[in-house]
Amino acid sequence: MRADISGSLTRATIRSPLTPLFLLAALALGFMALMSIPREEEPQISVPLVDVRLQAPGLSATDVVEQVSKPLEEIFKAIPEVEHVYSASQDDGALVTARFEVGTDADDAILRIHEKISANIDRIPPNIPEPQVIGRGINDVPIVTLTLSPQDYTKDVWNDTSLRMIAEELQAELVKIEDIGLSGIVGGRDLEIRVEPDVNALAAYGVSLQTLVQTLRGAANAFPAGISKVDGKAYVLQAGDTIKSPADLERLKIRGSGGRQVYVSDVARVLVTGQDTEQRVWSLEKEAGQWKAAPAVTLALAKRPGANAVVVAEHILQRVEELKGNLIPEGLDVIVTRNYGETANHKANELLFHLGLATISIVILIALMIGRREALVTLIVIPTTILLTMFASYMMGYTINRVSLFALIFSIGILVDDAIVMVENIARHWGMKDGRTRTEAAINAVSEVGNPTIVATLTVICALLPMMFVSGLMGPYMAPIPANASAAMIFSFFVAVIIAPWLMLKIAGQKKITHEHAENGGKLGRFYRKLVTPVIASRRSSWMFLIIVGIVTALSISLFATKTVRVKLLPFDNKAEMQIVLDLPEGAALEDTERSLFALAESIRELEEI
């Protein structure tokens, strides 16, 4: 028999010393990729958003819309790949957001916005300060959030201002970890020095409010005053910046009426306190059936693009444990309120477990229905193909997520076909006992089914590849399925014609080969004959069978029309958290919002699951 492409590959590798090296290299590359490839819950889709913040002092919201927001919207809409433009205008300022098409490079998007603003700066009123351009993307989403809250016996010691100070120190330490991206703090109030003027005292001392403000502003300024050289050394002189503490501010002199000197403490009260903000954060913990409320501050940490969320999250939590008792004092709880790395790792491990379970199930089925030798070869071939696919996925820039692993689970039933067909046909040829050597019989067996195997492999690839060209958000989301499944099919073919024959030759050794290749087809053949013979015995039975199949198919399809079966792209994600958003009428005070939220918390207090 003349060898085709498949047979030629088998002939070149079945006795080659390079074949086991190829197998070991494939396993090594696969395991390296499995350990290095980032793990995530979902595919990371790049949909760049660029926020442009502008300050418009003295302009009403209506004027901001006409003079600032609308011109910027027109400028941004002229940028290629900008899909949508949004704007929010208010008194003294505006926020304009440009959303780019899926897949646009985030840095390129920011650069285009900068260039367009610079080229059209004449369309913005001259009194408007330079806009602030901020890029937003999928990598800005925090993977770990840490909530700081005092324990019950230290509630009188900690307030939201002191908690924020600890959070800022903790943030400065954690951002030193490798691959940490954007970080931020939610809740708490920044510490500030507040000067509260006494109107009566100002009038009594003859000091105007404007004079007090100018004096304070000048004391806080600093500017270089030259260089002084003394004893061969040069010193940089600095004027101003005389305020080092609140006491220095209190002793600051102001000129009053009649030229007399007045201290700031005579006409104002100096306080060190937290800033006034329009947000408050509380931690509620159920104890003895009652809520225990405590002030809280949350530190949110994101990762850099391409970093492994699992590894970064582990490094963050490890560093937090090291800082407890040192930077993080006793009596202060650090609660992990989000760990994206842990959930991503759990889901990836769960899918890998199901992938291994599917592989073992196939091997057991082959052992029972075909033979133990064929099952052993399949046990090596399937993991080799999967690991090679992992390596290809890593090289293509994909991550381990539920979609990419679904592609492998989906394709495992198809990719095993190549190896089964090759192994079964080799065993059949060996059982013929026609005088050929086992090597020659194996080559002929591969050649016999090689072309149909190639056509079947290409057919599956052609059926999957169109998914690569889906546009919109679903395009990059579903791209791992055709990419990984197609790679798995290609690797399965080469493993089936190179590794499988070599393994068959090594496993079989010199043992006597028997194979049920008679007309009855063995166990499976006899079972199949008993099942099919009544169906094709007569035209009437054949038509009855087709009618039954048609009715069952129609009933199955009707389940979708009647919504008896729910259709969803991915299974529901059972998360142990829920978010409730409370939207009060416009103009509601912060205190009213706080009271409403505490009342809402009280109403759900009796739920055992919380």
CATH number at residue 266: 3.30.2090.10
Q: Among 220, 243, 274, identify where a domain stops.
A: 274
Non-local (6+) Cβ contacts of 560 within 8 A are 567
Q: Is residue 542 assigned to a domain? A: no
Q: Among 465, 483, 517, identify where a domain stops.
A: 517
Read off the pLDDT band of 195 (50, 70, 90).
confident
Task: Kindly report, residue by residue over 22-74, the tens digit of the pLDDT.
Answer: 999 999 999 998 888 888 877 777 788 899 998 888 888 888 888 889 989 99
Task: Determine the pLDDT at residue 567.
Answer: 73
Judgement on whether residues 467 and 423 belong to the same structural domain of the protein = yes
Q: Is residue 159 assigned to a domain? A: no
Amino acid at 595: R
Judgement on whether residues 356 and 478 belong to the same structural domain of the protein = yes
Judgement on whether residues 265 and 397 belong to the same structural domain of the protein = no
CA neighbor of 301 nearest in space, from 147, 462, 163, 440 = 147
Judgement on whether residues 113 and 196 belong to the same structural domain of the protein = no
pLDDT exceeds cutoff 70 at 3: no
Q: Is residue 305 assigned to a domain? A: no
Judgement on whether residues 350 and 478 belong to the same structural domain of the protein = yes
Task: Kindly report, residue by residue over 133-158, the tens digit of the pLDDT.
Answer: 988 878 888 989 999 988 877 777 88
Q: Is residue 44 assigned to a domain? A: no
Amino acid at 130: E
H-type alpha helices, 396-521: 402-430, 438-464, 474-478, 480-508
pLDDT exceeds cutoff 70 at 573: no
Task: Kindly report, residue by residue over 223-272, the tens digit of the pLDDT.
Answer: 677 787 777 778 777 766 667 777 877 888 888 777 778 888 888 888 88
What are the phi and psi torsion angles at 261 (to 5°)?
-90, 130
CA distances from 127 to 56, 68, 69, 117, 272 (A): 8, 11, 15, 15, 34
How many domains, the chain? 3
pLDDT exceeds cutoff 80 at 391: yes
Q: 50 near 98, Cβ under 8 Å?
A: yes
pLDDT exceeds cutoff 50 at 518: no
Read off the pLDDT band of 9 (50, 70, 90).
confident
Judgement on whether residues 9 and 61 belong to the same structural domain of the protein = no
Task: Determine the pLDDT at residue 520.
Answer: 55
Non-local (6+) Cβ contacts of 604 within 8 A are 610
Residue 424 belongs to domain spanning: 5-38+344-517
The packing angle between helices 18-36 and 480-508, to 10°, is: 140
3-state secondary structure labels for all residues of 223-276: EEEEEEEECCEEEEEEEECCCCCHHHHHCCEEECHHHCEEEHHHHEEEEEEECC
* 3-state secondary structure at position 277: coil
Q: Where are the beta strands (DSSP E) in 241-389?
A: 253-255, 261-263, 268-274, 282-287, 290-295, 297-303, 332-339
Q: Tell how strand 261-263 and strand 253-255 pair up.
A: antiparallel
CATH number at residue 22: 1.20.1640.10
Judgement on whether residues 359 and 485 belong to the same structural domain of the protein = yes
For residues 224 and 341, the model is more confident at 341
Read off the pLDDT band of 216 (50, 70, 90).
confident
Judgement on whether residues 33 and 56 belong to the same structural domain of the protein = no
pLDDT exceeds cutoff 60 at 362: yes
Task: Determine the pLDDT at residue 553.
Answer: 93
Task: Determine the pLDDT at residue 516.
Answer: 54
State mean pLDDT over 164-189: 89
Q: Is residue 388 assigned to a domain? A: yes
Judgement on whether residues 491 and 400 belong to the same structural domain of the protein = yes
Lookup: tokens for 607: 């739920």
Task: Determine the pLDDT at residue 145.
Answer: 92
pLDDT exceeds cutoff 70 at 574: no
Non-local (6+) Cβ contacts of 491 within 8 A are 385, 388, 389, 392, 415
pLDDT exceeds cutoff 90 at 549: yes
Q: Is residue 441 assigned to a domain? A: yes
Judgement on whether residues 506 and 393 belong to the same structural domain of the protein = yes
Distance CA 5, CA 284 (A): 69
Q: Is residue 547 assigned to a domain? A: no
Judgement on whether residues 207 and 128 belong to the same structural domain of the protein = no
Q: How many CA atoms lie within 13 Å of 418's alpha carbon, on the beta-carbon side?
A: 31
- In this structure, which long-range contacts are made by residues 545-552, counting pairs with CB atoms below 8 Å and at least 24 apart in sequence? none
Task: Kindly report, residue by residue over 64-105, the tens digit of the pLDDT.
Answer: 888 889 989 999 998 988 889 999 888 888 999 999 988 788
* 3-state secondary structure at position 17: coil
Of 150-154, 197-201, 532-536, the poorest mean pLDDT is in: 150-154
Work out the mean pLDDT of the chain and round it to a whole number: 83
Q: 206 near 179, Cβ under 8 Å?
A: no
Task: Kindly report, residue by residue over 273-308, the tens digit of the pLDDT.
Answer: 877 777 788 888 777 777 778 888 999 999 888 788
Q: 146 near 324, Cβ under 8 Å?
A: no
Read off the pLDDT band of 536 (50, 70, 90).
confident
Q: 446 near 425, Cβ under 8 Å?
A: yes
Angle (CA) 539-545-550 rounded to 5° is: 125
Q: Is residue 85 assigned to a domain? A: yes
Judgement on whether residues 348 and 448 belong to the same structural domain of the protein = yes
DSSP label at residue 466: G
pLDDT exceeds cutoff 50 at 483: yes
Distance CA 106, CA 111 (A): 9
CATH number at residue 126: 3.30.70.1430
* 3-state secondary structure at position 511: coil
Q: Among 239, 274, 309, identify where a domain stops.
A: 274
